[in-house]
Structure 1
Amino acid sequence: MFEVTVEAGFSSGHYLRNYQGKCENPHGHNYKVFVTLVGEELDSSGLLLDFKLLKQVLRPTVAYLDHFMINDLPPFDKELNPSAENLAKYFFDKTREQVHQMSAGRVRVKDCTVYETDTSFARYYE
């Protein structure tokens, strides 16, 4: 099995609904996102998927969230809390279909990890 991982970053604000504590107040993070792909076969160039292509897949999602209050953006504007856990699933879902199409199903998203701080992260996988 082969794996490749890329990292992206963005800065955004958020607050948690139905939460008692400091995080119920608006605050910001410098997020780091790691997306790992997995597959059994390499392409004719000896790559699972070009890092450049995976970064291109992430770019619109990162741009959508960067320097915004995440609570103001769908799907986080109603009841879905912009927790690190939900952001990890959001990146997973946004990446999965594109990677499947780009690789004709040869490559899949293994997991997405979102760091809120240097020492705290959430990961989503299926």
Structure 2
Amino acid sequence: MFELKVTTRFAAAHRLTMVGEQCENLHGHNWHVEVYVQGEKLDKGGVLMDFGIVKKELKEVIGTLDHTYLNESDIFKDAPPSSEHIAMYIAKELERRIDVDGVKVSRVSAWESENSCATYIAD
């Protein structure tokens, strides 16, 4: 099994209810995102896939989040914009966009600070 990792950053604001007083106030983060894709076979060039494809698709997905108030986004109309839901959204959107045989998004981590992150692990 091979695994690639691509990272990026974005800034956004949100507020969360029922998780503690601090989080209920409007606040923002400079999220650091780690995306992992995996597969069992390398292509003829000896790579799992082109990093550029992951970076391009990730940039487009992150563009839907960057510099927004996440609570007002249609993306989170049915779920709060927690780091957990952000990681899941990114993973599922990337999985839908990456069309390389045998390659899947394996996990996405959304770091809201340098010592706190939530990770979505795909099935």
Distance 1:53 1:124 in 2: 21
Match of 2:79 in 1: 80
The within-5 A match list for 1:1-126 is: 1-76=1-76, 78-99=77-98, 101=99, 103-104=100-101, 106-125=102-121, 126=123
TM-score, normalization: structure 1?
A: 0.92
- 1:27-61 residue CA offsets vs partner (Å, 9 max, x unmatched): 00000111101111011111111111100111111
Aligned residue type for 1:83 = S
**Offset, 1:98:** 1.7
Distance 2:94 2:53 in 1: 11
Distance 1:49 1:116 in 2: 28
Distance 2:21 2:3 in 1: 38
CA RMSD of aligned residues (A): 1.1
Aligned length: 122
Percent identity between the two aligned chains: 35
**Offset, 1:18:** 3.2
| Unaligned segments of structure 2, at least 5 residues | none
User: Closer, same or farther in 2 for the Cα pair 1:79/1:21, shift >3 Å?
Assistant: farther
Aligned residue type for 2:15 = Y
Secondary structure, aligned partner of 2:59: helix
Distance 2:8 2:66 in 1: 11
Secondary structure, aligned partner of 2:32: strand
TM-score, normalization: structure 2?
A: 0.94
